[in-house]
Amino acid sequence: MLKKILERTQQNLLNQQDLVPMNLLLEEIEKYEMVKSPPVPLLPQLLEKTKEKEAPAVIAEIKRASPSKGRLCVIDNPGDLAKTYQEAGAAAISVLTEPSYFEGAFQDFNEVKNTVSLPVLRKDFIISLYQLYQSKKMKADIILLIAAALTDEELKAFHQTAHQLHLQCLLEVHDREELERVKALDLIPEKDFIGINNRDLKTMQVDIQTTEKLSHHLPRNIHMISESGIRNNQDCLQVKSYGATGVLVGESLVTHRFPGDVLRTLRGEML
């Protein structure tokens, strides 16, 4: 499935570059001095939200669909949903911008960014430096770098460029080998976060014990985010016991009629 998504991402990327070539993108960023603009920092939010409750902080996701389950929900106004998340105590908002398998859109990201004061993660399959500059123009605070989608050289180059653009990085891993590759980077505690995805990309099965298995091998000074399969407060407390400072939750929120209440339940406010 990952291979299919990356192939489609490459096709979509070529179309985007036809519309806005790299030289024009760079001119736009330079014109408004976007490189110098600091992001909304994630770490203070993670620490503050974790201290407020026993559960880890929640990065709440705007997500319409997934490759494994298809359409999950209809989201007519991503900004309103993001506002609901913020009011319910989210530490950050994650926005899917991948259109083919997740039904995401750049417009979704823009609406969310213009609505909330929280840090906003651009969640997509980044396979080109062009997408890093694109993310900066979009005023993303955090980008997702998936180790499984990148070579060692790409991972290093993208990570370095992200820092040059003052973008924070959520570095996603699925197994020990990918984790070791990420640990080889020049990680910065305030700017880099390791996301442990509990979903097996080959079988698409989810097991939050993946967080426990990999947690023993994480760098001590880099905060961990547990991703996928977090459905209730018990799951949150379980991954926190493994060392997770935060959890990234999408499906459990968007498939419920009252996502704000679900978020509060995850945080331990409504049990």
Confidence class of residue 180 from pLDDT cuts 50, 70 and 90?
very high
The conformation of residue 115, written as its DSSP 8-state character, comes to: T
Instruction: Give me the half-sphere count of Cα atoms (radius 13 Å) on the Cβ side of residue 107.
Output: 5
Confidence class of residue 268 from pLDDT cuts 50, 70 and 90?
very high
User: What is the C-alpha separation between 207 and 147, in angstroms, rounded?
Assistant: 19
Domain count, the chain: 1
User: Alpha carbon of 126 to those of 25, 90, 151: distances in Å?
Assistant: 16, 24, 12
User: What is the C-alpha separation between 240 and 10, in angstroms, rounded?
Assistant: 36
Beta-strand pair 65-66/70-71:
antiparallel
Residues in the chain: 271
The first and second tokens of residue 234, run together, are: 């018990």
User: What pLDDT was estimated at residue 271?
Assistant: 63
Round the average pLDDT of the chain to a whole number and report it. 95
User: What pLDDT was estimated at residue 200?
Assistant: 82
Q: 92 lies in which domain range?
A: 2-267
Instruction: Specify the amino acid at residue 233.
Output: N
| CATH number of domain containing 240 | 3.20.20.70
Confidence class of residue 1 from pLDDT cuts 50, 70 and 90?
confident
Which segment of 62-71, 128-137, 218-227 scores lowest on mean pLDDT? 62-71
User: What is the C-alpha separation between 143 and 39, in angstroms, rounded?
Assistant: 11
The conformation of residue 1, written as its DSSP 8-state character, comes to: -
Three-class SS of residue 185?
A: coil
User: What is the C-alpha separation between 51 and 73, in angstroms, rounded?
Assistant: 32
User: What is the C-alpha separation between 224 and 56, in angstroms, rounded?
Assistant: 10
User: What is the C-alpha separation between 93 and 160, in angstroms, rounded?
Assistant: 23
- What lies within 8 Å, CB to CB, of 17 at 6+ separation is 130
Confidence class of residue 35 from pLDDT cuts 50, 70 and 90?
confident
* Per-residue pLDDT tens over the stretch 86-118: 999 999 999 999 999 999 999 999 999 999 999
* Per-residue pLDDT tens over the stretch 215-255: 999 998 999 999 999 999 999 999 999 999 999 999 999 99
User: What pLDDT was estimated at residue 94?
Assistant: 98
